[in-house]
Amino acid sequence: EAQVTQNPRYLITVTGKKLTVTCSQNMNHEYMSWYRQDPGLGLRQIYYSMNVEVTDKGDVPEGYKVSRKEKRNFPLILESPSPNQTSLYFCASSLGGVNEKLFFGSGTQLSVL
Amino acid sequence: KQEVTQIPAALSVPEGENLVLNCSFTDSAIYNLQWFRQDPGKGLTSLLLIQSSQREQTSGRLNASLDKSSGRSTLYIAASQPGDSATYLCAATNAGKSTFGDGTTLTVKP
């Protein structure tokens, strides 16, 4: 089944403890991206990757890191999480180009205490 | 910087009614415009994608139009059903960067 898989689904952590949210897709998509969704602020793009080893900042990259060492994986790293990074996170992928139909993962609800 | 606005923020209609959701964007330099559906606690599901060179796309009871010159897109839902209740988001995409509207929350009453 074609899908984007995020793990974990729920995560509670404490300020400053490094964490990684994984994202994997099985559709051989070139493009992958991360978003956060907050009440009243909508869905905002954090980082995106057009291909392996190619990443770029979205609208809210501060406090986040990403890497794209393999085509199928695009982990989101929070080196020193803070409470303002408490949010619902989504990973998405697409073929890229003008036919950028986005496929989304189920989301990761992160709480930073 | 691209800005995407969706009106109305919420809409409640009786079952069977036809309805239109609106999406406007400020920068017409887009690759495509997508409409998504999001159910509570779930991820987003792509409904329709309109490439920048296209004017509209149809899927079943859904029809989406795109007018780049005016910076507007509409999603038309025919013969609405209670199962259509969800939040509908539009997103304007250009070279990897996607900007989403805040969504319209639709409630279809039986």
Q: Is the pLDDT of residue A98 over 70?
A: no
Question: How many Å apart are CA B39 and CA A37, to the nearest integer?
Answer: 14
Strands A31-38 and A87-94, how do they pair? antiparallel
From the list A59, A90, A98, the residue facing B44 with the nearest CB is A90
Interface test with B, best of A43, A45, A90, A101 (most B CBs within 10 A): A43
- Give the pLDDT band (50/70/90) at residue A103: very high
The answer, for B45 touching chain A at a CB cutoff of 8 Å, is yes
Q: Which two tokens stand for residue B78?
A: 């025919």
Interface test with B, best of A90, A98, A109 (most B CBs within 10 A): A98
In the chain, the amino acid numbered A26 is: N
pLDDT at A53: 92
pLDDT at B31: 85
- Give the pLDDT band (50/70/90) at residue B94: confident
Report, as an integer, the average pLDDT of A63-75: 97
Q: Is the pLDDT of residue A97 over 80?
A: no
Could you read off the pLDDT of B8-50 as tens digits, one per residue? 999 999 999 999 999 999 998 888 999 999 998 888 999 999 9
Could you report how far apart the first and last alpha carbons of chain B are, in Å? 41
Report, as an integer, the average pLDDT of A77-99: 92
**Of B70, B61, B66, B63, which Cα lies nearest the Cα of B93?**
B66
pLDDT at A41: 87
Q: Please report, rounded to a whole number, the percentage of residues in chain A having pLDDT higher than 70.
A: 98
Q: Please report, rounded to a whole number, the percentage of residues in chain B having pLDDT higher than 90.
A: 85
Report, as an integer, the average pLDDT of A81-89: 97
Partner-chain contact B99 A31, CB within 8 Å? no
Report, as an integer, the average pLDDT of B54-69: 95
Question: How many Å apart are CA A64 and CA A60, to the nearest integer?
Answer: 9
- Give the pLDDT band (50/70/90) at residue B104: very high
Report residue A59 CA to chain centroid gap. Answer: 13
Q: Which two tokens stand for residue A56?
A: 């770029």
Helix (H) or strand (E) holding B103: none
- Give the pLDDT band (50/70/90) at residue A95: confident
Contact at 8 Å (CB) between A44 and B99? no
Contact at 8 Å (CB) between A74 and A8? no
Mean of pLDDT over chain B: 94
Q: Is the pLDDT of residue A52 over 90?
A: yes
The answer, for B71 touching chain A at a CB cutoff of 8 Å, is no
Q: Which two tokens stand for residue B18?
A: 């036809």
Report, as an integer, the average pLDDT of A25-54: 94
Dihedral sign, Cα of residue B5, residue B1, residue B96, residue A52? negative
Please identify which residue in the block is written with the tokens 């602020």. Answer: A41
* Higher local confidence (pLDDT), A109 or A40: A109
pLDDT at B67: 95
Report residue B44 CA to chain centroid gap. Answer: 12
